[in-house]
């Protein structure tokens, strides 16, 4: 009888030890997972990013507003572009491209500022701030390569006569109605896409390519934002004014911020007669 009691007691003690060990292991695992979640989110620690690379955890909060208004992959860091130690000489096409894109990005900002004041739509305020970043990035390259900045400090004033006319025409057109204002915003992004694609084909400079590709990604996002707003505000489905229908659909189908490399501009432009052949 005594032997039986001792055996049962031993079994009970062993069971208690096993249960206690299991509980301790569970608590330790839970504590470890909680610590990793606090550091990196969802149980993963954050990777250390290379210098100049945007942190994906900060991308969403750094955007001005909403899922449709993006700056493009890496565009938030355009004005802080890491540069090579010694700049190479620019070709005539590369210099002309930077001069032109500096003013074209300024045109986008100036038109969006005017239409924001006219219609008080947040999409113009948000994308306008993005265009400020874009034109500043191009100016950084102008300064780096010793090219004279053509941009005026006055809103709506441009050295390039084609851009001056375009600003006047689009500002007037966008003042007619909310629908026309949003179509103007989309038109500017289409023009920007075509010009950036043209300038990219004229350069092998990696610094210029990086800026132009970031600007392209921003324009793809902005085009989607304007067309989505047009549909939301008026129920109208946007029809491309300068891009081919195929190129436009490819941009709409692309993932936000990932860009879309297809070209496809109409030779004679769309409304307003813009032919995309500026020097």
Question: What's the CA gap between 13 and 25, in Å, rounded?
Answer: 19
CATH for 63-253 (1.20.1260.10, 1.10.3720.10, 3.40.50.300, 3.30.530.80): 1.20.1260.10
Where would I find the beta strands (DSSP E) of 160-250? none
**Neighbouring residues of 193: CB distance < 8 A, sequence distance ≥ 6:** 216, 219, 220, 223, 243, 251
Integer angstrom CA distances of residue 2 from 5, 8, 267: 5, 10, 103
- Is the pTM higher than 0.85? no
Report which of 196, 252, 222 is spatially closest to residue 109, judged by C-alpha positions: 222
DSSP symbol at 89: P
Q: Which residues, 6+ apart, have CB-to-CB distance to 219 below 8 Å? A: 72, 189, 192, 193, 196
pLDDT at residue 15, rounded to an integer: 52
**Three-state DSSP class for residue 203:** coil
Distance from C-alpha of 123 to C-alpha of 113, rounded to nearest angstrom: 11
Run of H or E including 168: helix 161-174
State whether the Cα torsion 261-107-226-264 is positive or negative.
negative
Give pLDDT, residue 261.
Answer: 47
Amino acid 46: pLDDT: 27
Residues of the chain with pLDDT under 50: 14, 17-20, 22-24, 26-76, 257, 261-262, 267-279
- Other C-beta atoms closer than 10 Å to the C-beta of 72 total 24
8 A C-beta contact, residue 278 and residue 100: yes
In 3D space, the residue among 45, 19, 47, 46 whose CA is nearest the CA of residue 34 turns out to be 45
Question: What is the DSSP code (8-state) at residue 259?
Answer: -
What HEC string does 19-61 produce? HHHHHHHHHHHHHHHHHHHHHHCCCCCCCCCCCCCCCHHHHHH
Domain ranges of the chain: 63-253
Report d(CA 65, CA 94) in Å as an integer: 34
Residue 232 pLDDT: 97
Contacts of 153 (CB under 8 A, 6+ apart): none
């Amino acid at each position: 009888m005594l032997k039986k009691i001792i055996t049962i007691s031993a079994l009970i003690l062993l069971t208690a030890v096993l249960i206690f060990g299991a509980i301790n292991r569970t608590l330790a695992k839970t504590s470890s997972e909680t610590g990793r979640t606090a550091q990196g989110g969802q149980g993963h620690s954050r990777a250390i990013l290379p210098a100049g690379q945007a942190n994906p955890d900060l991308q969403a909060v750094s955007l001005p507003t909403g899922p449709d208004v993006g700056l493009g992959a890496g565009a938030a860091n355009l004005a802080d572009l890491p540069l090579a130690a010694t700049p190479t000489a620019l070709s005539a096409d590369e210099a002309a491209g930077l001069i032109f894109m500096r003013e074209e990005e300024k045109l986008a900002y100036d038109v969006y500022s005017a239409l924001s004041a006219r219609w008080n739509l947040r999409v113009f305020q948000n994308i306008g701030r993005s265009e400020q970043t874009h034109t500043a990035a191009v100016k950084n390259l102008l300064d780096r390569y010793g090219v004279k900045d053509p941009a005026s400090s006055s809103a709506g004033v441009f050295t390039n006569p084609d851009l001056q006319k375009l600003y006047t025409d689009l500002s007037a057109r966008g003042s007619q109605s909310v629908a026309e204002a949003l179509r103007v915003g989309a038109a500017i992004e289409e023009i920007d896409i075509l010009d950036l694609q043209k300038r990219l084909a004229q350069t092998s400079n990696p610094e210029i390519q990086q800026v132009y590709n970031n600007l392209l990604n921003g324009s793809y996002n902005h085009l989607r934002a304007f067309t989505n707003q047009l549909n939301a505000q008026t129920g109208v489905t946007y029809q491309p004014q300068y891009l081919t229908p195929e190129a436009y659909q490819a941009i709409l189908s692309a993932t936000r911020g990932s860009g879309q490399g297809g070209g496809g501009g109409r030779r004679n432009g769309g409304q307003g007669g813009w032919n995309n052949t500026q020097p």
